């Protein structure tokens, strides 16, 4: 195919990031753009939406859609629940949003995930296999209709082709409704493009798009708007309820500088504490070594002769002829009597059971 510089027509989502299992994943730069908003007059009466009942913690209906690359429309309404509590809806495309039979939303938005580029113009040709999204009478001018038709294709990750017909309105590539032949051909049994049909002559705008993730890292647009910015606040979500992802990207430069200084200070304190501990340990070991050296001759301490003063220390001794006057022991008393039944008194004189003149020991 000479129409493509590489000789091959790009495939669907060729430049979109994927997981290890082949499924699409969200852009790492977290790029998300609000294309249409009920606060700007968009009806948001989309059909083909799915009710979301498993929001976790502080997760909002808006955040669920922004974190899911295949979600292009989110909506909150209070009419489908009998008690009037808010219900969340997400949709891959959201069809017939301008006059559909979907619930009237309290707030709804159409999102674009990532970025895109235009590969070719399809004005004046009919791309076969596209599906009608809304009619040609929804908008007063075809220029306005073409703009919103392109919005729908930009928001739907599986849409490569969009065309706007003055008579029939917006046509999109919706794989669940029909497929566009690959590669694009104008003849043969697998023809996917017609150049000479009345429908081709009625196409006043159309493009082939390629979805990708190009650009700098940017926070998701969930913060309170200021000035002329598009209103992106979810009902019940105040300006202080900004998700952590958006808040982290909005820090002023001096906050990061203070964090850096704090980390450096903590590091210096830890290093100083370790150094002081090692120095104190070294001093204790030196003191212990000096004490051992003072008393150990093998380490250069005092010898036995130097410590001879210990030999001159004498304990007092009792005189050998010392005696206690007027003190008698039981076995020296002639009046000692043994306990009856013990036989010879001399055999019992050295025991504690003897008795002396009626005294008891």
**pLDDT tens for residues 260-295?**
889 999 999 999 999 888 888 888 888 877 777 666
Six-digit token string for 295: 């008393």
- Is residue 31 domain-shared with residue 85, that is, in the same domain? yes
DSSP 264-331: HHHHHHHHHHHHHHHHHHHHHHHHHHHHHHHH-GGGT---TTTTGGGGG-------TT---TT---GG
Residue 149 maps to a domain? yes
Which has the closest alpha carbon to 97: 162, 32, 170, 168? 170
In angstroms, the CA 302 to CA 28 distance is: 77
Tally the domains of the chain.
3
- Is residue 39 domain-shared with residue 161, that is, in the same domain? no
In angstroms, the CA 110 to CA 7 distance is: 35
Q: What's the pLDDT at 239?
A: 36
Its pTM stands at 0.60
Summarize pLDDT for 22-48 with one digit per residue, the tens.
899 988 887 788 999 999 999 999 998
- Is residue 180 domain-shared with residue 56, that is, in the same domain? no
Residue of 163 and 83 predicted with greater confidence: 163
Q: What's the pLDDT at 243?
A: 39
The pLDDT of residue 357 is above 70: no
Summarize pLDDT for 77-134 with one digit per residue, the tens.
998 888 888 999 999 988 889 888 888 999 999 999 999 999 999 999 999 999 999 9
Residue 3 maps to a domain? no
Q: What's the pLDDT at 22?
A: 86
The pLDDT of residue 238 is above 60: no
Residue 349 maps to a domain? no
Q: What's the pLDDT at 72?
A: 95
Six-digit token string for 123: 């004005």
* C-beta separation of 306 from 297 below 8 A: no
Which has the closest alpha carbon to 108: 59, 72, 132? 72
At 303, is the pLDDT very low, low, confident or very high (cuts 50, 70, 90)?
low
- Is residue 89 domain-shared with residue 146, that is, in the same domain? no
Residue 355 maps to a domain? no
Average pLDDT of the segment spanning 300-309: 52
- Is residue 266 domain-shared with residue 122, that is, in the same domain? no
Q: What's the pLDDT at 209?
A: 95
Residue 42 maps to a domain? yes
Residue 311 maps to a domain? no
The pLDDT of residue 179 is above 80: yes
The pLDDT of residue 244 is above 50: no
In angstroms, the CA 261 to CA 256 distance is: 9
At 235, is the pLDDT very low, low, confident or very high (cuts 50, 70, 90)?
very low
- Is residue 109 domain-shared with residue 78, that is, in the same domain? yes
User: 2 phi and psi, to 5 degrees?
Assistant: -75, -15
In angstroms, the CA 286 to CA 297 distance is: 18
- Range of 52's domain? 15-114+220-234+246-250
Residue of 3 and 326 predicted with greater confidence: 3
Summarize pLDDT for 66-91 with one digit per residue, the tens.
999 999 999 999 988 888 889 999 99
- Is residue 98 domain-shared with residue 226, that is, in the same domain? yes
Per DSSP, what are the bridge partners of residue 172? 131, 162
Q: What's the pLDDT at 312?
A: 52
- Is residue 24 domain-shared with residue 109, that is, in the same domain? yes
- Is residue 69 domain-shared with residue 196, that is, in the same domain? no
- Is residue 93 domain-shared with residue 139, that is, in the same domain? no
Summary mean pLDDT of the chain = 78
Residue 346 maps to a domain? no
- Is residue 24 domain-shared with residue 106, that is, in the same domain? yes
Average pLDDT of the segment spanning 209-222: 81
* C-beta separation of 89 from 52 below 8 A: yes
Average pLDDT of the segment spanning 137-143: 94
Residue 59 maps to a domain? yes
CA distances from 200 to 25, 130, 149, 165, 191 (A): 36, 13, 17, 9, 14
CA distances from 202 to 136, 142, 199 (A): 11, 11, 5
- Is residue 135 domain-shared with residue 154, that is, in the same domain? yes
Six-digit token string for 160: 């490569």
- SS3 percent helix, strand, coil of the chain, rounded to 5, is 25, 20, 55
Which has the closest alpha carbon to 117: 18, 27, 15? 15
The pLDDT of residue 5 is above 70: yes
């Amino acid at each position: 195919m000479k129409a493509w510089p590489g000789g091959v027509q790009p495939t669907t989502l060729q430049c979109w990031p994927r997981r290890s299992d082949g499924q699409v994943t969200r852009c790492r730069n977290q790029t998300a753009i609000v294309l249409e908003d009920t606060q700007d007059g968009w009806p948001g009466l989309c059909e083909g939406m799915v009710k979301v009942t498993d929001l976790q913690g502080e997760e909002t209906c808006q955040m669920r859609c922004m974190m899911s690359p295949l979600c292009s429309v989110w909506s909150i309404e209070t009419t489908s629940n009998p008690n009037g509590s808010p219900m969340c809806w997400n949709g891959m495309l959201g069809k017939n949003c301008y006059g559909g039979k979907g619930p009237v939303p309290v707030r709804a938005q159409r999102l674009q995930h990532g970025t895109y580029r235009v590969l070719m113009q399809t004005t004046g040709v009919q791309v076969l296999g596209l599906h009608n999204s809304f009619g040609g009478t929804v908008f007063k001018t075809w220029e306005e209709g073409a703009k919103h038709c392109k919005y729908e294709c930009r928001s739907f990750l599986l849409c490569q082709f969009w065309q706007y017909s003055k008579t029939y309105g917006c046509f999109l590539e919706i794989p669940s409704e029909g497929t566009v032949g690959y590669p694009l051909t104008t003849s043969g049994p697998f023809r996917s493009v017609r150049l000479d049909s009345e429908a081709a002559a009625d196409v006043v705008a159309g493009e082939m798009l390629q979805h990708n993730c190009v650009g700098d890292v940017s926070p998701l647009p969930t913060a309170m708007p200021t000035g002329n910015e598009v209103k992106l606040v979810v009902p019940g979500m105040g300006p202080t309820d900004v998700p952590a992802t958006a808040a982290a990207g909005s820090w002023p430069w001096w906050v990061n500088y203070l964090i850096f200084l704090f980390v450096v200070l903590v590091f210096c304190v830890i290093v100083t504490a370790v150094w002081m501990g090692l120095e104190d340990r070294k001093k204790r070991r030196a003191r212990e070594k000096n004490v051992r050296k003072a008393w150990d001759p093998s380490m250069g301490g005092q010898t036995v002769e130097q410590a001879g003063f210990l030999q001159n220390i004498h304990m007092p001794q009792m005189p050998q002829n010392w005696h206690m006057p007027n003190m008698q022991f039981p076995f020296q008393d002639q009046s000692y009597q043994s306990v009856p039944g013990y036989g010879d008194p001399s055999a019992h004189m050295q025991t504690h059971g003897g008795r002396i003149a009626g005294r008891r020991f």
